[in-house]
Structure formats: structure tokens, C-alpha cells
Amino acid sequence: MSNSAVLPIATVGEKILAQHAQAVTVFDVSIQSLADDMLTTMLAANGVGIAAPQVFSSAAMFIMASRPNPRYPDAPNMRPVVVINPRILETSTQMELAEEGCLSIPDQRVKIWRHAQIKVQYHDLNGNLISDILVGFVARIFQHEFDHIQGITLLERSNMPEQQRPDTVN
């Protein structure tokens, strides 16, 4: 990460935030470089996750890196995980309401319902297919960043009727 850069963060109203991200088909040094820059950008902004569209890239990828910080003092510690071409395979019926912030919507917090547990699948930086079950705050991060690659921000999510929410993509 020594050569990584802090990238500009797209804010609400930018076209890229409303677009569906494109699947990553080549797992090469450019994807690693983008991941490094995204992590550096997220850490500099005190985030716990960041999606490629937030740094003006159309790649279907995001980073989850929960840790306590000024924006999320009670966040659990986890190593950074690069998530490429994610899918949500199953969702729990149990929902949890919590306040979320977004690097693309500075200085705003919105209460959002999220599934308490999700079964997911994604590729890592080497193109390996990973399956996992996520719960609690980490599941919330995944769902938040997954929304970004679907072209959805917190503002749209909070105003969507339940039946129109694209929580599960097969």
C-alpha cells in the first residue's frame, strides 16, 4: 500500500453513484492497485467500507474494513476484505434498524433497515470464489456497499418501498 493514493470521493448527485457497476473479468495488477487506493481513501475518510463507484470507478467491487474510528466508535475489528463481483444469495427474515453514514453523503446519518444475516458469494483479488455468512455490523457493511454497486445510496434506500429493494441478486 506504499504507493497508494487518496482518491476523490464521489458525492451524492454524481452520475457514477446512480449507475450499475460492471463485473470485473480480469484480475490483474490494476485491480490490486485500485483496491490499495480504495483502502487508503477509506482509511483517510474514517470509513468502514468503500465501493469502487465512490472513487469514480465502474468496477463491481468494494472493501469492507470495520474498525473503531471517530465515525463508528463501536465498530468491530476485522481485517480489510476486498469483495469483487458480489452476490447476496440468501437473507435472514430478521431485520435490524440502525443509523448509517456514507462517505458520499458527508455529515448525514440515516436510519436503515438491513438483514441481520446474509449468505454471500464474491471473488477475491486472485479471482477465487469465496462464500461466506455475515452477521450484524459486517453484514450491514456488505449490504451498504452492495447497494453502491447497484447504483443505490442511503437516500434512495431509505425511500424505497420494501418490495422494490434489490436485496437479493441471483
Task: Return binding residues for Fe cation.
Answer: 102, 144, 148
Q: Which residues belong to the active site?
A: 145
* Short-list 113, 106, 105, 89, CA closest to 153: 105
Beta strands in the chain (DSSP E): 49-51, 61-64, 81-91, 95-102, 105-115, 117-123, 129-135
Q: How many CB atoms lie within 10 A of CB 63?
A: 24
- Annotated binding-site ranges: 102, 144, 148
127: Cβ contacts below 8 Å, ≥ 6 apart: 27, 84
